[in-house]
């Protein structure tokens, strides 16, 4: 029983895959946070562009 637990404790198989998964998850969280924070600013820019194209703006960019 103790030998099995020792083998399990020292077994590093799959650790790299878990590390890559954690890194990918962290990158996803950062991207989502950045898009959430910048979302309203980006929306405003696209609304200004849309208004300029359709002529609905006041003409003062």
pLDDT in tens, 14-55: 788 889 999 999 999 999 999 888 888 888 888 999 999 998
pLDDT band at 8 (very low <50, low <70, confident <90, very high): confident
Smallest CA-to-CA distance from 39 within 47, 50, 28 is with 47
Domain annotation covers residue 33: yes
Smallest CA-to-CA distance from 38 within 27, 50, 49, 30 is with 30
Parent domain of 40: 1-54
Q: pLDDT at position 10, please?
A: 78
Q: Positive or negative CA dihedral for 31, 34, 40, 44?
A: negative
Number of domains in the chain: 1
Domain annotation covers residue 31: yes
- What span, in angstroms and rounded, lies between the C-alpha atoms of 56 and 30? 35
Domain annotation covers residue 34: yes
């Amino acid at each position: 029983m103790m030998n099995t637990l020792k083998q399990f404790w020292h077994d590093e198989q799959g650790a790299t895959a878990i590390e890559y998964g954690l890194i990918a998850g962290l990158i996803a969280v950062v991207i989502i946070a950045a898009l959430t924070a910048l979302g309203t600013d980006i929306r405003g820019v696209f609304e200004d562009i849309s208004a300029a194209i359709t002529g609905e703006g006041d003409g003062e960019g």
